[in-house]
Amino acid sequence: MLKEIILRMTQIDNRPKEPSMAIGKQAPRLRFAPSPTGFLHIGAFRTALFSWLYARHTGGQFILRIEDTDTARTVEGAVDDFINGLAWLGTDIDEGPVIGGLYGPYYQVQRSSLYQQYASQLIASGHAYRCYCTPERLEAMRKAQEAQKLPPRYDRHCRYLTDEEHTANEVAGLSWTVRFAMPLDGETVVHDQLHGNMVFKNSDLDDMVILKSNGLAPYHLAHLVDDHLMGITHVLRGEEWIPSAPRHVQLHKALGWEVPLYYHLPNVLGKDKKKLSKRRNA
């Protein structure tokens, strides 16, 4: 399996390209971007190794970025574990927290103003909106959907607020998040270098949060902004991110950015056929 995936990754990309597409014309830039909510597990090591091998095979660059916006779950010592783990694995990095680089800082908590800037840009262009729903309302909505055996998703209540209602909420000092306004109809096609074209109905996708009430951006916006600004051309990650991929494609479109080449790797499974992850101390 390892040999097959590496061979497929290093073949020339045959995806139809627009004339202005630059990703296929520059040296590959790949990143390993773990979250310090736990220590490295076997799946993370595999992703890091594949990314590093691809970069070295193609004369590209390998970047380490720390995705630490989930401050409530940050584990002390996890970042040192990442750095030491990569050194143990023999995967030297070209840019990152220790050695620096042209595209730093390489800690996401130090890049919060960038995410806020792009969230505001998306609101201004009509691709995002402020959501004032309280945790209590969201929980009641989730329970009602669960009782009706419906998939849990946001009901877009705040997407349709009038200007007067927005103003009233602001005057009242209500806390808010920012949600991305997904297209309500049509389909999103995700091109994956291993899986081919994957088609998703937009009506099945809800409006995800792209900026939290504390001003920090969750993975969906933060990684996408960083990948673009850092010139990342190839994104390797586990198959568990496939359901989120159409949202990421739509975010790229809304910002007018080129989508990187995606490789959604098979999950590493244990003898019980369940995914090995940090939550299972793998």
Nearest C-alpha neighbor of 82 from the set 51, 41, 52, 46: 41
Q: Are strands 177-180 and 209-211 parallel, antiparallel or unpaired?
A: antiparallel
Q: Which of 153, 152, 182 is nearest to 249 (CA)?
A: 182
Task: Give the SS3 label for residue 263.
Answer: strand
E strands, the chain, where?
29-32, 61-64, 128-131, 177-180, 187-192, 196-201, 209-211, 234-238, 261-265
**For residues 208 and 211, what is the distance between their CA atoms, to the nearest angstrom?**
9
Count CA atoms closer than 13 A to 279's CA, side-chain side. Answer: 3
In one-letter notation, the amino acid at residue 233 is T
Question: Of the listed 25, 201, 253, 278, which one is catalytic?
Answer: 278
| Neighbouring-strand partners of residue 191 | 197
Across 74-207, the runs of DSSP E, i.e. the strands, are 128-131, 177-180, 187-192, 196-201
CA atoms within 13 A on the CB side of 185: 0
278 is catalytic: yes
On the 0-12 / 13-18 / 19+ scale of CB atoms within 10 A, 173 is: exposed
Q: Catalytic residue numbers? A: 278
